[in-house]
Structure 1
Amino acid sequence: MKHSHLMKFLVSKHYIFAIALVYLLFSWSCARKGRPDGGPKDITPPVLLQSIPDTFSTNVDTKIKKIELNFDEYVTLKDYMKNVIISPPVDPQPIFTPTGMAAKKVTVEFSGELQPETTYTINFGQSIQDNNEGNPLSYFSYIFSTGDKIDSLEVKGKVNNMGERKLPENVIAALYRIDSTYNDSLIYKQKPYYVAKLDSANQFSLKYLRSGSYRLVAFNDEVANTRLDPAKEKFAFYPEIVEAGSSLDYDLNLFKLNQPYRAKEVSQVDYGKLEFYFEGKPEKVDIQALEPNFTTSKIYHKAYSDTATLYFNPSIDSLTEKRVRMRFAVNHMDKIDSLPPVIYQTEKYTPLKVYGRNLDYVPGKMYEIEANYPLDTLDKSYISVVKDSVDLDFEVKRLKPNKFGLDFPIEFNSKYKIAVLPEAAKDYMQRTNDTLSLSFGVKESRDFGNLILNIQNKPEAPFWLKLLNAQDREVTSVYGTKAKHEFKHLKPGEYYFKLLVDENANERYDTGDWYEQKQPEPIYIYQENVTVRAYWDIEETWVLGSSNQKSTEAPEKKDIEELMDRRPSTLDRP
């Protein structure tokens, strides 16, 4: 009996162990995602086994209802609305499956009739991916023709956005066919006739084209409708008519299109402060109050900017109600727009706040005092600057309506304390500041580096040279025509340069215009980072126009606004 019980116990233990082992092996196999042999990770994209009709088929019926693509494994369509492009466009848009699930078959279903004698390309971009590992069948295209031949011409080139160091997402190159119905406004109203996505090197190849003349453009299809939306998307165009089959490589340079002028709205942003918003960045606007009648208002508008600010004193203008209805008209180039009324809330109160700007102060820079409202005065008799217990003399210089500079010698290895007493600053309402205690220190000279830049092939026209850090923040900017520039006392780190050419010397950057067929003023970018080390002098030579250095892309909104009405000054010098 004892022997029999022992055998049963051992058999049961082995049985349980065997079950556990099988479970562990099964779990490990599942974790390997179908790779029980422990081999390398699957990096193979799906393989097309069959298409119905065959790819490159001719004489396809214009009333075709479905295309089937059969693959060797289960696939998904990822973000197909953004990835898939059909050239020429098909209206209504076909239905693609599978969506939200995996299948071995991708189908394209048409509900409308196709054009006769036309070669169609369906570019799937990166949308077709295997279900297990997500390996994409990159830039797979399905081609067929409703005529008796496949059109075989091509247009190729590259899209640049080198005012920034990378392109925006979803950039496409496109062709508009020039025929009896063509006009320049079509790029705003219709989808292009041929479309192609860029590859990883920012190059495009528009293939299977019919012979003819075209306008070549590019834009980042942010709205994902295969149509230019100028308010949201950057744009590029080739200045001449392009012939299909040309052997040229076309370079396109993205820029931000100017919008037609339009006064949009006005809103309350603070106590005694209203903001006006425009499209088109007007040079000058005249704002008229229709209701109520202001007596203390001041208006600030920087030329070619898309906002204007109106300040007023609610206590003097006797706004006694909690909610006051205000109406304004805006006059621009003899065009008067009445804006929708704004409801001003009188209980929203914000006091005057004055503060010191937290910058990297080094010798040659000026300490900056800023406020949340425009300042009428900054009285130096209520301000003291102390260096290591020694009082310093200083000058007060206005930099902007709400910003002043305190000009005194800043030295290495020193500590400074600044006291701003009440009555020092007064805004347009004659409100004054609270007591403000500020301090900052400057490290030793050996903690900084110097950078010298020599520009070869510099433009004849004046230009803005910008020094930016690795986070794409502007460190300093200079305007002029010099070929050699010294940037002193820089924090150790990575830097690079931009150069914006002021071709017409009007001291503001001018972007491109499609209707006038005008390209934007050139922008160059120094592609490689320059490493500045502490206690080192670095000298770099920049050969403008060398490989991958030039761009004519318009700057971001903040860059354009900084350049408007810019004047060279000592503040720009490092």
Structure 2
Amino acid sequence: MKIYFKAIFYYFFIIFCIASMQFIGGCAQIGVPVGGPKDTIAPMLTKANPTFGSTKVTNNTITLSFDEYIDLQDLQQNLIISPLQNKNPTITANPKSITIKFKDTLLPNTTYTINFGNAIRDFNENNITKDFTYLFSTGKTLDSATISGKVLIAESGGIDSTIIVLLYRNAVDSTVKNKKPNYIAKLKGDGSFQFKNLPTANFKIYALKDADGGKTYNTKFETFAFLQTEVSSTTNENVLLYAYAEEKAAENNNTTSITKKNIDKKLKLQTNIQSTKDLLEPLEISYNNPLKDYDFSKIYLTDTFYKKITTAKYSLDSTSKKITLSHIWQPETTLILIIEKDAAADSVGNKINKTDTIRFTTKRKEDYGRITLRFNDLDLFKTPVLQFLNGETVKYTYPLTSKEWSNSMFPPGEYDIRILYDTDKNGKWTPGNYTKKIQPELGVTIPQKLSIRADWDNEQEINL
């Protein structure tokens, strides 16, 4: 009987434990907090010492307090202090505050702005306090003059938002090459800029793609822009700057450093002849090694009866690795290119293994499209040139003498088009020259893309 009673006791005890666990678990589920909405509000300034917009400031330490925990990210890329400091201030971030300690002596009667860009964010959700700027003056009043404008890439009319704008007070032409500016502004996405809280004065203004971070124009390879005259902070006119690089960075094709060790042991060649030869492009023969000796008389075209064609013209490019053969190609014509074994040799005497004979046929006229473009608001007095581009590469260039242009045989494909105002009439874009005070030629990229279909009449109206 005792055993039976004990078994019943254990039975009810187990049921009680299971029920208790279920009850507790159920209660726990009910009590789990579901959480509130996600924080989307950026940190806000609650207090500043000195107060925001203070005048007659003499203290070189500033403290900014915020309403929540903050984090400073990419401060070096975002921070702009105007006027520019010779010695960078010490900036420290505490949980809810930022302290700035100036190392330079504050200038008298000067308005200072500290722009943090997008550096200030809340600690938890990374919400950005966009373009946060603190302002104070060492004088009796806050300066309020502004200079606004836009920077465009001269050749294309495009925008490079990594360019900065430099403002110099009491400067000569050479100052931009050896001294940092007084004020700096960054471009917005549309290429515009604005300097605020400037003193009433005249300034020299420049734009620079500052590759080395020096904030000075010290190489002709840097993208740069200048204004011919000073600009006044009292005028309301927008400044327009056209940026250019006076020289393009040279490609790494210096043949003078080539030695026997880095020359291929066999001389090889290839051509740009596809299944059919383009009627509008020259024939190109590319070698794997730079050529030292060559004889164009041993590279020639013939007809199918091996009769030489003597009207072709030859040239060797600056790398000494590409021979260009120019000729007026006739449609649907079969030709033979012959490159004799000893037509060329590289610097160690290598030649191709044997005479190369390439038979090819030129394209049909029907493989090309017919195109007519009509331009609205085209200024013919500025010597406009029509350029067709694939990406950044100018493929075809045509001077424009009227507001309608047509071509009866144009390569099919997708193109961007650009109008270049060719003031020096050399058929290509010419950059500016700061030393000679020459502005760059201007190009206007047309937003419309052209799609040229073969054996088709392609017509389009272009608005400039």
State whether structure 2 residue 45 is matched by structure 1 residue 48: yes
CA contact (8 A) 1:382 1:423 kept: no
Check 1:14–1:192 CA distance in 2 against 1; reply closer, same or farther (3 A cut): same
CA contact (8 A) 1:153 1:244 kept: yes
Secondary structure of residue in 1 paired with 2:88? coil
CA contact (8 A) 1:125 1:197 kept: no
Distance 1:441 1:169 in 2: 48
Distance 2:39 2:416 in 1: 40
| 1:496 equivalent in structure 2 | 416
| 2:104 equivalent in structure 1 | 112
Deviation at 1:54, TM superposition (A): 1.4
Check 1:142–1:439 CA distance in 2 against 1; reply closer, same or farther (3 A cut): farther
State whether structure 2 residue 176 is matched by structure 1 residue 187: yes
Equivalent residue letter for 1:367: L
Check 1:97–1:411 CA distance in 2 against 1; reply closer, same or farther (3 A cut): farther
Distance 1:524 1:433 in 2: 46
* 1:171 pairs with one of 150, 163, 166: 163
Taking the TM superposition and a 5 Å limit, the aligned residue runs for 1:337-416 are 345-350=259-264, 351-357=266-272, 361-371=277-287, 372-374=289-291, 376-378=294-296, 396-401=312-317, 402-405=322-325, 407=327, 409=329
State whether structure 2 residue 378 is matched by structure 1 residue 457: yes
| 1:94 equivalent in structure 2 | 89
**After superposition, what is the alpha-carbon deviation per residue over 1:525-550, rounded to whole angstroms, capped at 9, x for unaligned?**
2233233456543323445xx4xxxx
Taking the TM superposition and a 5 Å limit, the aligned residue runs for 1:473-484 are 473-478=393-398, 481=401, 484=405
Deviation at 1:410, TM superposition (A): 6.7
Secondary structure of residue in 2 paired with 1:9? helix
| 2:73 equivalent in structure 1 | 78
* 1:205 pairs with one of 194, 197, 201: 194
State whether structure 2 residue 154 is matched by structure 1 residue 234: no
Distance 1:517 1:216 in 2: 14
Secondary structure of residue in 2 paired with 1:254? strand
CA contact (8 A) 1:209 1:244 kept: yes
| 1:572 equivalent in structure 2 | none
Secondary structure of residue in 2 paired with 1:274? helix
* 1:60 pairs with one of 33, 39, 57: 57
Distance 1:48 1:385 in 2: 82
Check 1:132–1:186 CA distance in 2 against 1; reply closer, same or farther (3 A cut): same
State whether structure 2 residue 203 is matched by structure 1 residue 214: yes
Taking the TM superposition and a 5 Å limit, the aligned residue runs for 1:149-164 are 149-161=141-153, 163-164=155-156
Distance 1:431 1:366 in 2: 26
State whether structure 2 residue 433 is matched by structure 1 residue 433: no
| 2:448 equivalent in structure 1 | 528
**After superposition, what is the alpha-carbon deviation per residue over 1:208-263, rounded to whole angstroms, capped at 9, x for unaligned?**
1111221122212333343334345311122122111201111111112469xxxx
Distance 1:160 1:487 in 2: 34
CA contact (8 A) 1:152 1:210 kept: yes
Check 1:529–1:421 CA distance in 2 against 1; reply closer, same or farther (3 A cut): closer
Distance 1:438 1:136 in 2: 64
Distance 2:360 2:48 in 1: 71
CA contact (8 A) 1:465 1:497 kept: yes
CA contact (8 A) 2:161 2:189 kept: no
| 1:510 equivalent in structure 2 | 430
Distance 1:17 1:448 in 2: 77
**After superposition, what is the alpha-carbon deviation per residue over 1:61-106, rounded to whole angstroms, capped at 9, x for unaligned?**
0xx23212222333322222122111111221112233xxx83222
Equivalent residue letter for 2:74: D
| 1:564 equivalent in structure 2 | none
Equivalent residue letter for 2:435: Y
**After superposition, what is the alpha-carbon deviation per residue over 1:508-560, rounded to whole angstroms, capped at 9, x for unaligned?**
643222233221223332233233456543323445xx4xxxxxxxxxxxxxx
Number of residue pairs matched by the alignment? 440
Distance 2:436 2:329 in 1: 50
Distance 1:432 1:175 in 2: 59
CA contact (8 A) 2:161 2:187 kept: no
Check 1:482–1:438 CA distance in 2 against 1; reply closer, same or farther (3 A cut): farther
Deviation at 1:480, TM superposition (A): 6.9
Taking the TM superposition and a 5 Å limit, the aligned residue runs for 1:544-555 are 546=464
Deviation at 1:135, TM superposition (A): 3.4
Equivalent residue letter for 2:57: V
CA contact (8 A) 2:299 2:337 kept: no
Deviation at 1:150, TM superposition (A): 0.2
**After superposition, what is the alpha-carbon deviation per residue over 1:365-422, rounded to whole angstroms, capped at 9, x for unaligned?**
3432222434623456887788xxx98976643143431327585757x9x8977565
**Could you say what the CA RMSD is over the residues aligned between the two structures, in angstroms?**
4.0
Secondary structure of residue in 2 paired with 1:255? strand
Taking the TM superposition and a 5 Å limit, the aligned residue runs for 1:310-321 are none
CA contact (8 A) 1:377 1:427 kept: no
Secondary structure of residue in 1 paired with 2:256? strand
Equivalent residue letter for 1:497: I
CA contact (8 A) 2:301 2:308 kept: no
Equivalent residue letter for 1:60: V
| 2:120 equivalent in structure 1 | 128
Distance 1:104 1:477 in 2: 60
Secondary structure of residue in 2 paired with 1:528? strand
CA contact (8 A) 2:157 2:442 kept: no
Scaled by the length of structure 2, what TM-score is found?
A: 0.79
CA contact (8 A) 1:379 1:424 kept: no
Distance 2:372 2:307 in 1: 32
Check 1:120–1:424 CA distance in 2 against 1; reply closer, same or farther (3 A cut): same
Equivalent residue letter for 1:245: T
Equivalent residue letter for 1:274: T
**After superposition, what is the alpha-carbon deviation per residue over 1:291-345, rounded to whole angstroms, capped at 9, x for unaligned?**
xxxxxxxxxxxxxxxxxxxxxxxxxxxxxxxxxxxxxxxxxxxxxxxxxxxxx85
CA contact (8 A) 1:233 1:256 kept: yes
Range that drifts further, 141-150 or 213-222: 213-222
Distance 1:142 1:225 in 2: 25
CA contact (8 A) 1:123 1:139 kept: yes
**After superposition, what is the alpha-carbon deviation per residue over 1:263-294, rounded to whole angstroms, capped at 9, x for unaligned?**
xx9x996xxx415xxxxxxxxxxxxxxxxxxx
Check 1:51–1:499 CA distance in 2 against 1; reply closer, same or farther (3 A cut): same
Equivalent residue letter for 2:197: Y
Check 1:528–1:42 CA distance in 2 against 1; reply closer, same or farther (3 A cut): farther
Equivalent residue letter for 2:420: L
Distance 2:13 2:112 in 1: 79
Check 1:4–1:118 CA distance in 2 against 1; reply closer, same or farther (3 A cut): same
State whether structure 2 residue 266 is matched by structure 1 residue 274: no
Distance 2:217 2:443 in 1: 23
